[in-house]
Amino acid sequence: MRIIFLSLLIFMSINVSANTSQLITLGQHDKSMMLDSVSEKQKHKFPALYIYDTKQQQFLSKQNATAYLQALSENPLLPKLATQWTKSTEQFSTSNESLAKSLPMLKLDRAYLILYDNLPAPMLAQFKSMDPELQDKDSLLKTILSQLDNARSYVTY
């Protein structure tokens, strides 16, 4: 009986962890492949946030993406972060099929796909003198994105 109970408990914990949100690391190469597939002519600057609506099959405008992010938390850092890091997607054009072809590892099973083009931790530390809150913003954003149920979130690093 204990073995059955233990097996059931293990199965349930595996099932729950498979459904929980998390940040998925793409790496520089995969991030570049994804962004080049939606707009190869646009120069991409980081840190950057891009939010793709999988139902409408289009990226949210800077204004709509900023509003979406600001609604996720009342943290005072979030409005500034959302305004500065959310980038224009006016030149972006794609579909679920195109995204899946460009990067088969992408999962388009939730309402939104979020790409956070972040910096590696050592670089964040180097820029601390320019923006003392940079590491805090990065940490806040990663925490928020990892908890979303309606979005699948990807980071560069």
Q: Distances from the Cα of 151 to the Cαs of 31, 115, 125, 154, in angstroms?
A: 17, 10, 28, 10
> What rounded mean pLDDT belongs to the chain?
84
Q: Please report the pLDDT score of residue 42 as a whole number.
A: 64
Confidence of residue 121 (pLDDT cuts 50, 70, 90): confident
Residue 155, phi then psi, degrees to nearest 5: -125, 155
Highest mean pLDDT among 7-21, 56-70, 91-105: 56-70
Dist CA 115 CA 89 (whole Å): 12
In the chain, where the domains are located? 21-155
What's the confidence (pLDDT) of residue 1?
A: 56
Q: What is the pTM of this model?
A: 0.81
- How do strand 48-53 and strand 58-59 relate by DSSP bridges? antiparallel
pLDDT attached to residue 17 = 39
Tell me what pLDDT residue 9 has.
43
The helix/strand/coil state of 82 is: helix
What are the pLDDT digits (tens) for 3-58?
554 444 454 444 333 445 688 998 888 888 888 778 766 676 778 999 999 999 99
